[in-house]
Amino acid sequence: MLRIYSLSLLYSLSISSTLATKLQLPFKHKASPFDDDFASLTNWTLEQWHVPGLSIAVVDGDDIWAEGYGFASLPHTKATPETLWFAGSLTKSFTSAAMALLISSRNYTDLHWGTPISNLIREDFVLDDEWATAHISIEDALTHRSGMPRHDMSYGGAYDDDGHRGTPRDVVRSLRYLPLTAEPRTAFRYSNIMYVVVGHAIETLTGQWLGDFMRERLWEPLGMKATYLSRSDSLKTPNDLAVGYVWQEDGYYRPTPLPDIDAMTGAASLVTSVADYAKWLKAFLSHSAPLSINDYKELKTPRTLLVKQPQASPFSGYATYALGWEVDFYHGYQVFCHTGNIEAYGCRVTFVPELHWGAVTCANNPVASSYAGTELIQYLFDNKIRLAKEEKFDWFHYHKQRWLKNIEDYNGAREKYYPRLLDKRPLSLELERYIGTYFNPGYRNMTIYYKDGQLHIDRACSWSIHMDLEHVTGDYFMAYTDSTTVPDSIFQRAIAAEFVIGSDGVARKFGLAAEATMGTEGRIWFERV
């Protein structure tokens, strides 16, 4: 257990190896929120969701508490407050804050939240719509209202035949080939790519790698010495880097490779500890340097309407998105939160300005980590506001229902894409004649191969994906996708696929429903190379 006082002395402690997962600094006032009841709940939650380990930190006024439960890596390395975790989209608040520093510095001519991005990186930033290219602003990008959706299968991996690994600039330059799925400023379209765009713009303006800029201007002033923006930097530190795991039906955990995050600088490349991240939360709660009070105001101002909360959710009214933060209301309190999922890692952060209170969790199992983190944070939040037992929401049941709904959607995808299917028509060609490499300039190569009587695709990008193509009728298929490194993760999907046969009897085009917001009829089209 770690307790940090903003004004207290830090004691040098000698700890035996058997107790190395806990630190406790002297305290005088508040009791730790991590009592025996919380420990029991945490252990039960991790067991239910098959999460090997979790670290958590709570900020309460001037105090920071942090603790680790379970294992950062099996079988012996325990999770601690100092364990490093891949934090996914918790990166986004730092990218927004970095841009806030540039805007408030007044060192750049005509730089403000409404500045069109094309004014900053004109050669690189081109969309498939001329008006959008000229008008999409920094604010539009950071609040997910640019009209550009996820297109998560499009980026990372090798960008040419020489094996050149994708960079943020490569990701930005691919946007000209990716379709928008909403008119700019009319709808919420969550987009990792647009945060990569802003990160690249910051690098262009400053002449610095984004990780160096964040370290010098944000992390070092806050004393955050265990936060990084690249996998390679995090591997150079003495801190233990948590290993991601997938729970298997045979009752064993399978370790997964470390995520390839270099192309996602600005969106999802953060590596941090909860002890370090708590300092970031404390800065937001106290409005302390290096950001100004106006910077914090800008970062926390709601700007984009999301959707009305489902009836099952305890959050009231409409959710909105600020600059790197989702904004909700819970029992009358304005709540800022975000989830950070990346392959086999998941984080959750929540803070409540009115209470000067916040919490962050990080864990090492796909999807379930953020569920577990949310449940534990909400338990502590309910205790903080002394919510009556009958008013408390059953978060575990809520997440279980969402999990089951995802399974139901996966199993029912064939009917969704092909609702009027009557008779199964035969293929136009022998199955082996569909194999080959197909190309889309935004998504690059998609190579289809034949094995064991079925067509398959292995796609190496930031998220390495395997697809099994199952014949439906004629030249129409279902593509059952999953991560090659983290099976049963956020990339397990069932989507439509189809081929177009040329007049010469050759499969000339391959279409894939790779982007959900394009609808059931929308396809990303690849042409045979």
* Residue 310, pLDDT score: 65
At residue 498 the predicted structure's pLDDT band, cuts being 50, 70 and 90, is very high
Q: Collapsing DSSP states into helix, strand and coil, what is residue 176?
A: helix
Q: What is the mean pLDDT of the chain?
A: 92
* Residue 504, pLDDT score: 97
Q: Alpha helix (H) ranges present in 152-273?
A: 168-173, 192-206, 210-214, 231-234
List the beta bridge partners of residue 329.
316, 334
* Residue 460, pLDDT score: 78
Q: Collapsing DSSP states into helix, strand and coil, what is residue 89?
A: coil
pLDDT for residue 483 is more than 90: no
> Which one-letter amino acid corresponds to residue 260?
D
List the beta bridge partners of residue 37.
none
* Residue 313, pLDDT score: 80
Q: What's the average model confidence in pLDDT over 444-469? A: 92
Q: Express each pLDDT in 126-143 by its tens digit.
A: 999 999 999 999 999 999
Question: What are residue 439's phi and psi, to 5 degrees?
Answer: -125, 135
75 preceded by a cis bond (ω within 30 of 0) = yes
pLDDT for residue 1 is more than 80: no
More confident residue, 109 or 10: 109
Question: Counting beta carbons within 10 angstroms of the beta carbon of residue 518, is it exposed (0 to 12), middle (13 to 18) or buried (19 or more)?
Answer: middle
Strands (DSSP E) contained in 177-266 are 245-247, 253-255
pLDDT for residue 20 is more than 70: no
More confident residue, 11 or 480: 480
Following DSSP, what letter does each residue of 381-423 receive, concatenated? HHHHTT--GGG---HHHHHHHHHHHHHHHHHTHHHHH-TT--S
Q: For the chain, count helices (H), then strands (E).
A: 13, 22
Q: What's the average model confidence in pLDDT over 517-524? A: 98
Q: What is the C-alpha separation between 274 and 280, in angstroms, rounded?
A: 10
Q: What's the average model confidence in pLDDT over 399-413? A: 94
At residue 492 the predicted structure's pLDDT band, cuts being 50, 70 and 90, is confident
- Among 62-66, 313-317, 389-393, 495-499, the range scoring the smallest mean pLDDT is 313-317
259 preceded by a cis bond (ω within 30 of 0) = no
Q: Express each pLDDT in 283-323 by its tens digit.
A: 999 999 999 999 999 999 999 998 766 667 888 878 999 99
CA atoms within 13 A on the CB side of 322: 22
Q: What's the average model confidence in pLDDT over 23-31? A: 51
Domains of the chain: 33-89+233-409 (3.40.710.10), 95-206 (3.40.710.10), 421-528 (2.40.128.600)
Question: Counting beta carbons within 10 angstroms of the beta carbon of residue 342, is it exposed (0 to 12), middle (13 to 18) or buried (19 or more)?
Answer: buried
At residue 398 the predicted structure's pLDDT band, cuts being 50, 70 and 90, is very high
- Strand 253-255, strand 53-60: pairing: unpaired
Q: Express each pLDDT in 260-286 by its tens digit.
A: 888 999 999 999 999 999 999 999 999
pLDDT for residue 187 is more than 60: yes
Angle between helices 91-105 and 192-206 (to 10 degrees): 40
pLDDT for residue 386 is more than 70: yes
pLDDT for residue 10 is more than 50: no
Q: What is the C-alpha separation between 529 and 288, in angstroms, rounded?
A: 55
* Residue 176, pLDDT score: 98
pLDDT for residue 336 is more than 80: yes
- Asked if 63 contacts 338 with a C-beta cutoff of 8 angstroms, the reply is no
3-state helix vs strand vs coil in the chain, percent to 5: 30, 25, 45
Q: Collapsing DSSP states into helix, strand and coil, what is residue 254?
A: strand
* Residue 249, pLDDT score: 84
Q: Express each pLDDT in 343-362 by its tens digit.
A: 999 999 999 999 999 999 99
Q: What is the C-alpha separation between 171 and 421, in angstroms, rounded?
A: 38
Q: What's the average model confidence in pLDDT over 372-390? A: 97
Q: Express each pLDDT in 133-176 by its tens digit.
A: 999 999 999 999 999 999 999 987 666 666 677 899 999 999 99
Q: What is the C-alpha separation between 479 and 470, in angstroms, rounded?
A: 6
